[in-house]
Protein backbone atom coordinates (compact mmCIF):
# COMPACT_ATOMS: atom_id res chain seq x y z
CA UNK A 1 0.00 0.00 0.00
CA UNK A 2 1.18 3.50 -0.80
CA UNK A 3 -1.89 5.60 -0.01
CA UNK A 4 -3.35 5.63 3.50
CA UNK A 5 -5.36 8.80 4.10
CA UNK A 6 -9.06 8.05 4.42
CA UNK A 7 -8.52 4.27 4.42
CA UNK A 8 -9.71 1.96 7.21
CA UNK A 9 -7.50 -0.02 9.61
CA UNK A 10 -8.84 -2.76 11.89
CA UNK A 11 -6.61 -3.76 14.83
CA UNK A 12 -7.41 -6.56 17.25
CA UNK A 13 -5.86 -6.29 20.67
CA UNK A 14 -5.98 -2.64 19.74
CA UNK A 15 -6.62 -1.02 23.12
CA UNK A 16 -3.09 -1.38 24.48
CA UNK A 17 0.47 -2.41 23.73
CA UNK A 18 1.51 -3.13 20.16
CA UNK A 19 -2.03 -2.90 18.81
CA UNK A 20 -2.58 0.58 20.18
CA UNK A 21 0.81 1.70 18.87
CA UNK A 22 -0.07 0.44 15.39
CA UNK A 23 -3.41 2.22 15.52
CA UNK A 24 -1.76 5.51 16.55
CA UNK A 25 0.69 5.19 13.63
CA UNK A 26 -2.12 4.55 11.17
CA UNK A 27 -4.07 7.51 12.58
CA UNK A 28 -1.11 9.78 11.93
CA UNK A 29 -1.43 8.79 8.28
CA UNK A 30 -5.05 9.98 8.25
CA UNK A 31 -6.67 6.54 8.48
CA UNK A 32 -9.98 5.66 10.11
CA UNK A 33 -9.50 3.28 13.03
CA UNK A 34 -11.40 0.25 14.28
CA UNK A 35 -10.17 -0.97 17.66
CA UNK A 36 -11.14 -4.45 18.80
CA UNK A 37 -10.30 -5.64 22.29
CA UNK A 38 -11.61 -7.94 24.99
CA UNK A 39 -10.96 -5.40 27.77
CA UNK A 40 -13.76 -2.84 27.81
CA UNK A 41 -12.16 -0.23 30.08
CA UNK A 42 -8.99 -0.10 27.99
CA UNK A 43 -11.09 0.04 24.83
CA UNK A 44 -13.09 3.00 26.16
CA UNK A 45 -9.91 4.88 27.09
CA UNK A 46 -8.28 4.27 23.72
CA UNK A 47 -11.28 5.24 21.61
CA UNK A 48 -11.67 8.35 23.74
CA UNK A 49 -8.10 9.35 22.98
CA UNK A 50 -8.61 8.98 19.24
CA UNK A 51 -11.88 10.91 19.27
CA UNK A 52 -10.27 13.73 21.24
CA UNK A 53 -7.58 13.93 18.55
CA UNK A 54 -10.19 14.10 15.80
CA UNK A 55 -9.58 10.62 14.41
CA UNK A 56 -12.64 8.73 13.09
CA UNK A 57 -12.78 5.64 15.32
CA UNK A 58 -15.02 2.93 16.66
CA UNK A 59 -14.30 0.47 19.45
CA UNK A 60 -15.77 -3.03 19.48
CA UNK A 61 -15.48 -5.46 22.37
CA UNK A 62 -14.38 -8.75 20.84
CA UNK A 63 -13.13 -12.10 22.04
CA UNK A 64 -11.25 -13.09 18.89
CA UNK A 65 -11.42 -16.78 19.79
CA UNK A 66 -15.15 -16.61 18.97
CA UNK A 67 -15.94 -16.68 15.25
CA UNK A 68 -19.31 -14.98 15.68
CA UNK A 69 -17.74 -12.06 17.54
CA UNK A 70 -15.13 -11.53 14.82
CA UNK A 71 -17.89 -11.68 12.22
CA UNK A 72 -19.75 -9.02 14.22
CA UNK A 73 -16.54 -6.94 14.20
CA UNK A 74 -16.51 -7.12 10.42
CA UNK A 75 -20.17 -6.05 10.27
CA UNK A 76 -19.54 -3.13 12.65
CA UNK A 77 -16.57 -2.03 10.56
CA UNK A 78 -18.55 -2.02 7.34
CA UNK A 79 -21.50 -0.29 8.99
CA UNK A 80 -19.26 2.49 10.30
CA UNK A 81 -16.79 2.97 7.46
CA UNK A 82 -17.88 0.81 4.51
CA UNK A 83 -14.54 -0.92 3.90
CA UNK A 84 -11.42 -2.50 5.38
CA UNK A 85 -7.94 -1.83 3.97
CA UNK A 86 -5.57 -2.91 6.74
CA UNK A 87 -6.27 -5.82 9.07
CA UNK A 88 -3.92 -6.40 12.00
CA UNK A 89 -4.65 -9.74 13.67
CA UNK A 90 -2.72 -8.74 16.76
CA UNK A 91 -4.60 -9.97 19.86
CA UNK A 92 -2.53 -12.45 21.84
CA UNK A 93 -1.96 -14.13 25.20
CA UNK A 94 1.17 -15.73 26.64
CA UNK A 95 0.79 -18.62 29.07
CA UNK A 96 4.00 -20.40 29.96
CA UNK A 97 5.09 -23.61 31.59
CA UNK A 98 6.48 -27.02 30.86
CA UNK A 99 4.79 -28.78 27.96
CA UNK A 100 3.42 -31.71 29.98
CA UNK A 101 2.25 -29.57 32.89
CA UNK A 102 0.04 -27.23 30.87
CA UNK A 103 -3.66 -27.96 31.26
CA UNK A 104 -6.21 -28.50 28.53
CA UNK A 105 -7.65 -25.12 29.52
CA UNK A 106 -4.23 -23.49 28.99
CA UNK A 107 -4.02 -24.94 25.49
CA UNK A 108 -7.60 -24.03 24.60
CA UNK A 109 -7.17 -20.44 25.78
CA UNK A 110 -3.86 -19.82 24.01
CA UNK A 111 -4.77 -21.54 20.75
CA UNK A 112 -8.18 -19.91 20.74
CA UNK A 113 -6.80 -16.37 20.93
CA UNK A 114 -3.44 -16.67 19.19
CA UNK A 115 -4.36 -19.05 16.38
CA UNK A 116 -8.11 -19.09 15.95
CA UNK A 117 -8.16 -15.33 16.44
CA UNK A 118 -6.09 -15.02 13.26
CA UNK A 119 -8.10 -17.69 11.45
CA UNK A 120 -11.38 -15.97 12.25
CA UNK A 121 -9.96 -12.60 11.18
CA UNK A 122 -8.92 -13.99 7.81
CA UNK A 123 -12.20 -15.81 7.22
CA UNK A 124 -14.25 -12.71 8.00
CA UNK A 125 -12.19 -9.97 6.34
CA UNK A 126 -10.37 -11.44 3.34
CA UNK A 127 -13.60 -11.92 1.34
CA UNK A 128 -14.41 -8.25 2.01
CA UNK A 129 -10.99 -7.17 0.76
CA UNK A 130 -11.27 -9.34 -2.35
CA UNK A 131 -14.70 -7.88 -3.16
CA UNK A 132 -13.42 -4.31 -2.71
CA UNK A 133 -10.66 -4.69 -5.27
CA UNK A 134 -8.59 -2.05 -3.43
CA UNK A 135 -4.99 -2.21 -2.28
CA UNK A 136 -5.11 -3.91 1.11
CA UNK A 137 -2.70 -5.40 3.63
CA UNK A 138 -2.94 -8.01 6.39
CA UNK A 139 -0.50 -8.12 9.31
CA UNK A 140 -0.56 -11.16 11.59
CA UNK A 141 1.31 -10.76 14.87
CA UNK A 142 3.45 -13.80 15.65
CA UNK A 143 6.67 -13.53 17.66
CA UNK A 144 10.29 -14.64 17.56
CA UNK A 145 8.72 -17.51 19.51
CA UNK A 146 7.26 -18.47 16.13
CA UNK A 147 10.78 -18.88 14.74
CA UNK A 148 12.51 -20.38 17.80
CA UNK A 149 11.75 -23.09 20.37
CA UNK A 150 12.99 -22.10 23.86
CA UNK A 151 12.17 -24.07 27.03
CA UNK A 152 9.18 -23.26 29.19
CA UNK A 153 7.17 -21.76 26.33
CA UNK A 154 5.63 -24.76 24.55
CA UNK A 155 2.06 -23.47 24.28
CA UNK A 156 3.07 -19.98 23.20
CA UNK A 157 5.62 -21.27 20.68
CA UNK A 158 3.16 -23.74 19.16
CA UNK A 159 0.64 -20.93 18.68
CA UNK A 160 3.14 -18.50 17.19
CA UNK A 161 4.77 -21.08 14.89
CA UNK A 162 1.23 -21.68 13.63
CA UNK A 163 0.76 -17.97 12.93
CA UNK A 164 4.02 -17.81 10.97
CA UNK A 165 3.20 -20.74 8.70
CA UNK A 166 -0.44 -19.64 8.38
CA UNK A 167 0.73 -16.24 7.12
CA UNK A 168 3.23 -17.82 4.73
CA UNK A 169 0.45 -19.99 3.33
CA UNK A 170 -1.87 -16.97 3.21
CA UNK A 171 0.68 -15.15 1.06
CA UNK A 172 0.85 -18.07 -1.37
CA UNK A 173 -2.94 -18.33 -1.51
CA UNK A 174 -3.40 -14.61 -2.13
CA UNK A 175 -0.92 -14.70 -5.00
CA UNK A 176 -3.21 -17.18 -6.77
CA UNK A 177 -6.16 -14.78 -6.56
CA UNK A 178 -5.01 -11.15 -6.55
CA UNK A 179 -2.11 -8.75 -6.59
CA UNK A 180 -4.06 -6.23 -4.51
CA UNK A 181 -3.80 -7.85 -1.07
CA UNK A 182 -0.42 -8.27 0.60
CA UNK A 183 0.46 -9.99 3.86
CA UNK A 184 3.11 -9.62 6.54
CA UNK A 185 3.99 -11.56 9.67
CA UNK A 186 5.25 -9.53 12.62
CA UNK A 187 7.84 -11.33 14.78
CA UNK A 188 8.86 -9.11 17.71
CA UNK A 189 11.17 -10.14 20.50
CA UNK A 190 10.72 -8.62 23.96
CA UNK A 191 8.76 -5.35 23.89
CA UNK A 192 7.47 -3.64 27.07
CA UNK A 193 3.73 -4.38 26.87
CA UNK A 194 1.15 -6.09 29.05
CA UNK A 195 1.52 -9.47 27.33
CA UNK A 196 3.12 -11.03 30.42
CA UNK A 197 -0.04 -10.11 32.37
CA UNK A 198 -2.48 -11.55 29.85
CA UNK A 199 -3.87 -13.91 32.51
CA UNK A 200 -6.06 -10.98 33.59
CA UNK A 201 -8.22 -11.52 30.51
CA UNK A 202 -8.54 -15.31 30.64
CA UNK A 203 -12.24 -16.30 30.47
CA UNK A 204 -13.64 -17.70 33.70
CA UNK A 205 -14.54 -21.02 32.06
CA UNK A 206 -10.89 -21.56 31.07
CA UNK A 207 -9.28 -20.66 34.39
CA UNK A 208 -7.31 -23.33 36.19
CA UNK A 209 -8.12 -24.42 39.70
CA UNK A 210 -6.01 -22.51 42.23
CA UNK A 211 -2.71 -24.20 43.02
CA UNK A 212 0.40 -23.34 44.95
CA UNK A 213 3.13 -22.08 42.65
CA UNK A 214 6.44 -23.87 42.87
CA UNK A 215 9.70 -21.91 43.13
CA UNK A 216 10.29 -22.88 39.49
CA UNK A 217 6.91 -21.45 38.46
CA UNK A 218 7.60 -18.19 40.30
CA UNK A 219 11.08 -17.86 38.82
CA UNK A 220 9.79 -18.51 35.30
CA UNK A 221 6.99 -15.95 35.66
CA UNK A 222 9.31 -13.32 37.11
CA UNK A 223 11.90 -13.95 34.38
CA UNK A 224 9.28 -13.47 31.66
CA UNK A 225 7.97 -10.23 33.17
CA UNK A 226 11.51 -8.91 33.63
CA UNK A 227 12.46 -9.79 30.05
CA UNK A 228 9.34 -8.14 28.63
CA UNK A 229 9.74 -4.94 30.63
CA UNK A 230 13.47 -4.78 29.85
CA UNK A 231 12.86 -4.70 26.11
CA UNK A 232 14.83 -1.90 24.50
CA UNK A 233 12.42 -1.38 21.61
CA UNK A 234 9.11 0.18 22.63
CA UNK A 235 5.63 -0.32 21.18
CA UNK A 236 5.79 2.99 19.30
CA UNK A 237 8.91 1.85 17.45
CA UNK A 238 7.21 -1.40 16.53
CA UNK A 239 4.19 0.56 15.30
CA UNK A 240 6.52 2.48 12.99
CA UNK A 241 8.09 -0.77 11.78
CA UNK A 242 4.68 -2.23 10.99
CA UNK A 243 3.66 0.84 9.01
CA UNK A 244 6.94 0.79 7.09
CA UNK A 245 6.51 -2.94 6.42
CA UNK A 246 3.06 -2.32 4.96
CA UNK A 247 4.26 0.65 2.90
CA UNK A 248 7.27 -1.26 1.58
CA UNK A 249 5.37 -4.56 1.17
CA UNK A 250 7.76 -6.55 3.37
CA UNK A 251 6.55 -9.99 4.36
CA UNK A 252 8.72 -10.68 7.42
CA UNK A 253 8.84 -7.85 9.95
CA UNK A 254 11.60 -8.69 12.44
CA UNK A 255 11.90 -6.00 15.08
CA UNK A 256 15.14 -7.17 16.70
CA UNK A 257 17.91 -7.83 14.13
CA UNK A 258 20.21 -9.45 16.69
CA UNK A 259 17.78 -12.36 17.01
CA UNK A 260 18.59 -13.46 13.45
CA UNK A 261 21.66 -15.36 14.68
CA UNK A 262 19.44 -17.52 16.88
CA UNK A 263 17.03 -18.09 13.99
CA UNK A 264 19.93 -19.15 11.79
CA UNK A 265 21.11 -21.58 14.46
CA UNK A 266 17.68 -23.20 14.55
CA UNK A 267 17.64 -23.49 10.76
CA UNK A 268 21.06 -25.13 10.88
CA UNK A 269 19.84 -27.55 13.56
CA UNK A 270 17.14 -28.67 11.13
CA UNK A 271 19.33 -28.86 8.04
CA UNK A 272 22.11 -30.70 9.88
CA UNK A 273 19.59 -32.96 11.66
CA UNK A 274 21.07 -32.25 15.08
CA UNK A 275 19.30 -31.85 18.42
CA UNK A 276 17.74 -28.42 18.99
CA UNK A 277 19.99 -25.73 20.44
CA UNK A 278 18.69 -23.69 23.38
CA UNK A 279 19.33 -20.33 21.74
CA UNK A 280 18.06 -18.49 24.84
CA UNK A 281 20.63 -20.07 27.14
CA UNK A 282 23.45 -17.69 28.12
CA UNK A 283 26.74 -18.66 26.52
Residues known to be catalytic: 156
Could you give the dihedral angle defined by the CA atoms of residues 83, 121, 72 and 33, in that order, rounded to the nearest 10 degrees? Answer: -50
Long-range (24+ apart) CB contacts under 8 A made by 244-248 are 245/139, 245/184, 245/186, 246/1, 246/86, 246/137, 246/139, 246/182, 246/184, 247/1, 247/2
Distances (CA, A) of 113 to 80, 88, 116, 200: 25, 14, 6, 14
Residues 6+ apart with CB under 8 A from 205: none
Residues 6+ apart with CB under 8 A from 153: 96, 145
Could you give the dihedral angle defined by the CA atoms of residues 67, 43, 134 and 89, in that order, rounded to the nearest 10 degrees? Answer: -50
Give 213's DSSP letter: P
Of 49, 56, 57, whose CA–CA distance to 16 is shortest?
Answer: 49
For 10, other C-beta atoms within 10 Å of its C-beta total 31
Distances (CA, A) of 183 to 50, 133, 138: 26, 15, 5
Of 101, 40, 115, 92, whose CA–CA distance to 199 is shortest?
Answer: 92
Amino acid sequence: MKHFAGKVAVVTGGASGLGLAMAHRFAREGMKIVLADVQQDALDRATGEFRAAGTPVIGVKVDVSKADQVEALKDATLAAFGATHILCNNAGVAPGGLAWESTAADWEWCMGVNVYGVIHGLRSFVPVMLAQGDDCHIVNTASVAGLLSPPGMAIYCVSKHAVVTLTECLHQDLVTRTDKIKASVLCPAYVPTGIADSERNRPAELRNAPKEMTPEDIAREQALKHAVQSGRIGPEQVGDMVFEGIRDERFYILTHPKIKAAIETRMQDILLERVPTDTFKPK
